[in-house]
Structure 1
Amino acid sequence: MNKDGSIYFKPARTLLFVPGNKESWMEKVVGYSSDAVILDLEDSVPPNMKEAARDTVASKIPVLAAAGVRVFVRINRDGEGYDTHDIRACAVSGLEGLVLPKPDGPEDIQHVSQILNSLDSPNGSSKISLIPTLETARSLYFAYECSLPERVVAVFGAVAKDADGSRSVGYQWTADGAETLHLRSHVVLAARAAGKMPLGGLWQQVRDLDGLRASAQINRNLGMSGEMIIHPSHADVVNQVYSPSPQELSYYRGVVAAYEKALTLGRASVVYEGDHIDLAHVQTARVLLEMDASSQKEARK
């Protein structure tokens, strides 16, 4: 939890979907390089296997969490909103958050928050976060309002090929993403304005890792903080894109050093490697260096 009582979300470069009816797949995720997993009860599970998948996922959450895996669960929608059976069954120790598919708007997200608020504290419901996936024209339009609920820690701008978002908005998907540039930028701005993390993806061309890298790089350039992915082979590629390169880290260390030296000479700005540098640039450099130091510390645990 943050000091203000809100739920803390440790940045995640990659969140890997794993079908909730594939127990053997879940057992493999400890060895994957994704920063988190999303055990899926929704689209990847056949209708006649939903209940069994729910039981399996609920039993696996504590086991995976104990092994150091960050666990989220994508729940189902039902006729009246989100499936309360999914919510109650999965609100167990070790669950970091719920992924909410296809919210129509902020009212759907608030409804799930109310259900979680009503659960007994032994379930750890006060710490369960929410990640809405904006897959309808209305939810994309109200991206800022969907980002505001207290439990929301990140927002996913869903712009996959031939999926719910493309059908709802009506765009024709292309690999370079020009048709969704406005939507993705809108989600980034809305989430950041609300103090939440914007997430990109999904890249559905499983074997096209070059295309994945190019798409992820565009999303990172726009301001995305990470991506949802559908295959373990995508994790290393996306992690690399969303991690500062050695050259970037060297540059930012140089920025800080040059600025601090300038201060000793009575100047508040300096030219470093041809770039004008002042306090704003140094603050950005320090944030990125601190994030890298934190990720390196986590990797050594």
Structure 2
Amino acid sequence: MTATTAYRPRRSVLYMPGSNERALEKAKTLPVDALILDLEDAVAPDAKEQARENACAAVRSGDYGRRELTIRVNGIGTQWHEDDLAAAAAAGPDAVVVPKVSSAAEVRQLVAALEAAGAPEHTKLWAMVETPVAMLHCEEIAAASERLTVLVMGTNDLAKELHAEHVPGRAPLLTGLGLCLLAARATGTVILDGVFNDVKDAEGFAAECLQGRQLGFDGKTLIHPGQVETCNATFAPSEAQVEEARGILAAWEQGAGAGVVTYNGRMIENLHVETAQRVLSTHEAIAGL
């Protein structure tokens, strides 16, 4: 099972093509919590090697401040995978992101490869879960190694594999999303929602961010800098939620030993206190940025 660690904000996690040097430069100024420097889908085959060099140089530069820096390598079985993994391990990002992870055995294979390539201890594994097989085995995937700290939903590939349509509310994907959320919470693993494809549909994006937060995701992966602000706001506790959390904790402390504690007419139990503490720790971590 993944070890529990201090909360780190991952509200907004932006994909940036490793082949686009201008985009990598712009990323240094964006208010994102994390970046995925992409060597996979966003990069043409003839640009793969240059993208790899650019991404590793970006990681080594130290120019990205408090942003969590990760590199998405090409998948297991592709002609670029082994070289990508070795180069990323040597660069030592916060994490290596691997697409289409479908089994616990693959997780163990990836962890062994990172260790063999000399990846530093701080370089974790983020596994993308994108297929029906991954949905059905997500708990085993999440529990396979303590080095795996984040699950990333690959909703576009999942929709393709399901022969499903992209519709508002994502009803065709909810079973898969729910299975992966259950797996993440059962194993103490962070989980990120998938991307929203239409960068011009601000209203649809805002609605999907809200849905993701309500379902329980820790944050969302993004494909455009214009999506960052809405995502950050949605996945942070609101002022009202922070105020309520403080009120619940104050009422709990004042009522210690009283047997029954109420706040605004509602009975307060341990579970409400734990939720309030999580809200405040999230708020404080975000404020600390």
TM-score between the two structures when normalised by the length of structure 2 = 0.92
Residue 105 of structure 1 corresponds to 103
Residue 149 of structure 2 corresponds to 153
Residue 61 of structure 1 corresponds to 59
How far is the alpha carbon of 1:80 from its aligned partner? 6.3
Residue 279 of structure 1 corresponds to 270
**Separation of aligned partners in 1, 2:28 and 2:62:** 7
Is 1:208 aligned to residue 201 of structure 2?
yes
TM-score between the two structures when normalised by the length of structure 1 = 0.89
Letter in 1 for 2:229: D
Matches within 5 A, 1:87-102: 87-102=85-100
CA shift digits 1:159-198 (9 cap, x unpaired): 2xxx321121222221111111111111111011111011
Is 1:129 aligned to residue 124 of structure 2?
yes
Matches within 5 A, 1:278-297: 278-297=269-288
**Separation of aligned partners in 2, 1:227 and 1:139:** 19
Percent same amino acid among aligned pairs? Answer: 28
Letter in 1 for 2:158: G
The SS at the match of 1:48 is helix
Q: Is the 8 A contact 2:151 2:184 kept in 1?
A: yes
**Separation of aligned partners in 2, 1:7 and 1:108:** 24
CA shift digits 1:274-301 (9 cap, x unpaired): 322122211221221122112212x2xx
**Separation of aligned partners in 2, 1:179 and 1:35:** 29
**Separation of aligned partners in 2, 1:139 and 1:9:** 26
The SS at the match of 2:36 is strand
Residue 144 of structure 1 corresponds to 139
How far is the alpha carbon of 1:7 from its aligned partner? 7.7
Correspondent of 1:249 among 215, 237, 242 = 242
Residue 16 of structure 1 corresponds to 14
RMSD of aligned residue pairs (Cα, Å)? 2.1
Letter in 2 for 1:106: A
Residue 188 of structure 1 corresponds to 181
**Separation of aligned partners in 1, 2:166 and 2:174:** 11
Q: Is the 8 A contact 1:157 1:183 kept in 2?
A: no
Unmatched 5+ stretches in structure 1: none
CA shift digits 1:6-48 (9 cap, x unpaired): 8877231111000010011101111101101000000100011
**Separation of aligned partners in 2, 1:138 and 1:30:** 36
Matches within 5 A, 1:45-60: 45-60=43-58
Unmatched 5+ stretches in structure 2: none
Letter in 2 for 1:190: A
Length, aligned pairs only: 287
How far is the alpha carbon of 1:94 from its aligned partner? 4.8
Residue 34 to residue 166, structure 1, CA distance change in 2 (3 Å): same
Residue 240 of structure 1 corresponds to 233
The SS at the match of 1:153 is strand
Matches within 5 A, 1:217-228: 217-228=210-221
CA shift digits 1:180-222 (9 cap, x unpaired): 1111111111011111011102111102122111111111111
Residue 7 to residue 272, structure 1, CA distance change in 2 (3 Å): closer
Matches within 5 A, 1:164-179: 164-179=157-172
